[in-house]
A and B are shown apart, each in its own frame.
Chain A
């Protein structure tokens, strides 16, 4: 191996490229943008203004921040559902007026007064909600008009009553505490706002109503089709926004007792700027309370500092408007292009060198030499099956296989003409195995490990494993459980092809050539799963050996078959038994003569092998070329090989035409026949094996003749 090859190998082994893509794909990554702005703002004003970080200034800012935060949270909830509420400024002013007249002037009890104030805010919100939610008016214009109407009402009220309520003064200590009190050094209003923020965060991320809000904002039509009461959800968001304006007004009224006509004027633009700056998207579905809180803090600091530095109102509206425009522009572009950036950064190829391709030419003495043995194999369920990745037989010879629609199909013996849906699971059922009790175990791509009892009840066995500490993506959830086999003691060993890609993207994993997959053991005694063999290159087929102490697993992109001892003297050790296969191995199953069958789902090509040695090339390809034009491994021709326990290739079955079985992902020997399945095929093939035991079945040979019996 040359020096430069070694350099490349080390470079891709030790530089964690994949971390960048994985960090970018995290949901919280959007929050970093406002957090960055916040630190910039803090540095600029912190160094430019000596009083900026003084306790008095911070305490003042804290009180205003609390009041702003209430309104920002309300607006966030509205915007998450795809709306907008510009009436907040006027609603705030109206609630301030109501608070002053009832609590200050008429000296009602604080609790009653606050309830009335919040109710007034909620009422304005309800009007908005009915107009926008139920009558489907445009949110922007409607709330703008509400802004004007409510403002006019406030102006009229102030004209008549400003002098009177200005004289009021409530001596209640609670009222004073709301204005000036501290809890643990934090102003009362801020403390209350933080409590509301936590509540809102839990609601949005954990509770049903919050999920409905997110769903409506994400896609209104889909939410409606899913049965969510869209109109009611939208309406409620405005009610919440109005009510929170009322809450903010209570604290404001307690603090300033101001009946000026300027209260809340322009507040809607300030708050809107704040939440958009925080990263709450116009149009809904994206955002969080934390982002809104960050955005509000930035705007408040900027605004406050500008006033202290003596800027005029013209300047500050220029800056505010400019920030608003910039924030929206960045947000719109980011939302639109995020997935592109992510797609480019996520695929992270690494170095992988395969030995020279073994000879497969016809007539050569290579064990892989081409032949046409699979030509004209019988087809079962032609046109009725869709994507039988694996198939298996029960004690009555009925065949079971998966389908692309998430069903487990049953095809009845003896003629295999009648097909029925045996059970519906979802996802894409892939590998299958029967246990001693005749329960069918199925690996379901996109879902996990499932069990189907003979009476068709479906049970989820596992959809998670232990999370590895160093992984940035959450690898505890199963993305692509692939194939399985069951050890004599009932433990289920199954492979997960990759932790970095979803089922529909599994082939992109080939471009990485990294060990992204693993083998997991599910123990029915404890009902838990643990990863036993991590970091394998798309581990696929799993087959427990005849002795019952070890299993064979195929690594599709690694083109090798390995033995892993899960019991016995060599427990925990692995041993490669076949290396440098001419194709990509898929499922492995036992043969009647004590050997093993393995399907190769596709054949290697020199071009792709070379590409695997050039991670830089693959990275450039992913970044510069459209997805449809990427170089993928060949998946259009395959074959079946037979090998013994030492890895000697005994036989190879080819289908040269490639019409009936372009892709063979699984094979199963049953009573003298070899059955062939393929994840993209529309049939199961049946090939008579010369000289095979006509009575041998995999399940009887493994579990014994009687149901529930112990292994021979």
Chain B
């Protein structure tokens, strides 16, 4: 019986209990508009979470994800507003994200800067670069255009909200990718034990670079959903603590920070729990700062439990693995 219990199932059960609890206890929780906004938020967190999961499975982490998302999509909107073709702008935005991913990957794989440090600094650099050279104002609005592209975040397909469809697609692709492609398997191997992976002949460094490129591209997808859902992109989002929500989702779902474990299912479970929690707190009218404290304490507890469940292995812990 106890063997049936793992973090994924426990978290799933808590999510269900919370959902039922909020539905009964909080008026307005089950209302159509609330569920819609819950799903939107959850989907965005989920898409980002899948990107982050790829990194964490490969024993990395990407703190520059939100910055990349904000700056590349905001830049795209700036270009579209100034008359550039939408698809060209999208291509350029993706290109920008890919460059960020490559720089991250090179710093981490080849220069051997600890991932958490490299991406923290890259987040600052990307934001600074974007604000200095690409984007003038704080908030960039969506152009008035009827292209289907602008309904990614708000419309529905057969009654299912589009963000959910996007989340599902990203999740499906990522799951197939991690399970069935060579790169996906390599990613697990690298996360499990870099030294062994290297001796076995896996191209460890290219795998790590590819990892961060992938994360950056997924960040753009999430950014498009964000921008089209609220018809604007607020660049100050890059300064927020959203990236820790993403880590929270991943770690809570049961993907160990020591790498090599977990999958897309864990992200979905974690996303549901955090989405319900955040929504519930918003309805309860808790302030932004109070919510921050709640989330942080939960994250701290999650890391604590993670440390106890996946104790750091002194044999494979790298020097400078902080």
Contact = CB atoms under 8 A, between A and B. Distances in A.
Contact of B322 (A82, A153, A319): A82
Secondary structure at chain A's binding surface: helix, strand, loop or mixed? helix
A153 B293 contact: yes
Size band of the interface chain B makes with A:
35 or more
B122 A148 contact: no
B38 interface: no
A84 B116 CA distance: 12
Interface in B279-322: 287, 289-290, 292-293, 295-297, 299-300, 303-304, 307, 311-312, 314, 319-322
B293 A152 contact: yes
Interface in A72-107: 82-84
Given A144-B244, A156-B289, A221-B314, A137 B303 contact: yes
Given A138-B322, A324-B121, A328-B117, A315 B257 contact: no
Size band of the interface chain A makes with B:
35 or more
Interface in A38-87: 82-84
B132 A141 contact: no
Which of A321, A328, A336 neighbours the largest number of chain B CB atoms within 10 Å of its CB?
A321
Given A152-B292, A321-B124, A282 B117 contact: yes
A711 interface: no
B127 A314 contact: yes
Contacts of A324: 121, 124
Nearest to A148: B296
B125 A142 contact: no
B124 A320 contact: yes
B20 to A, nearest CB: 29
A145 B117 CA distance: 15
A281 B292 CA distance: 31
Contacts of A156: 287, 289-290, 293
Contacts of B296: 145-146, 148-149, 152
A155 B293 CA distance: 11
Contacts of A146: 296, 300
A328 B112 CA distance: 10
B244 A84 contact: no
Interface in B116-143: 116-118, 120-125, 127-132
B132 A314 contact: yes
A152 B240 CA distance: 12
A269 interface: yes
B224 interface: no
A325 interface: yes
B36 interface: no
Given A136-B312, A149-B293, A314-B132, A283 B125 contact: no
B257 A155 contact: no
Given A136-B307, A145-B300, A317 B292 contact: no
Given A149-B296, A325-B125, A312 B241 contact: no
A329 B292 contact: no
Nearest to B103: A325
B125 A321 contact: yes
B78 to A, nearest CB: 14
B114 interface: yes
B111 interface: yes
Given A83-B322, A84-B322, A137-B307, A145 B122 contact: no
B303 A149 contact: no
Contact of B244 (A138, A148, A312): A148
A305 B247 CA distance: 36
A140 B289 contact: no
Interface string A289-323: 00000000000000000000000111111111110
A309 to B, nearest CB: 14
B117 A329 contact: no
Given A135-B307, A145-B244, A149-B292, A312 B131 contact: yes
Nearest to B293: A152
B64 to A, nearest CB: 10
B124 A317 contact: yes
Nearest to B114: A282
Given A269-B124, A332-B111, A318 B132 contact: yes
A131 B297 CA distance: 12
A468 B21 CA distance: 81
A145 B303 contact: yes
Given A221-B314, A332-B111, A138 B130 contact: no
B322 A155 contact: no
A138 B257 contact: yes
B92 interface: no
Given A152-B290, A324-B121, A328-B117, A142 B128 contact: no
Interface of B: 107, 111-114, 116-118, 120-125, 127-132, 241, 244, 247, 257, 287, 289-290, 292-293, 295-297, 299-300, 303-304, 307, 311-312, 314, 319-322
13 contacts: A136-B311, A136-B312, A137-B304, A145-B300, A155-B289, A156-B289, A269-B124, A282-B114, A316-B128, A319-B128, A325-B118, A325-B122, A328-B121
By Cβ-Cβ distance, the 6 closest A-B pairs, closest first, are A318-B128, A314-B131, A283-B320, A321-B124, A321-B125, A317-B128
Interface of A: 82-84, 131, 135-142, 144-146, 148-149, 151-153, 155-156, 159, 220-221, 269, 281-283, 312-322, 324-325, 328-329, 332-333, 336
Given A131-B300, A141-B257, A153-B289, 4 more contacts: A149-B296, A152-B289, A269-B124, A318-B131
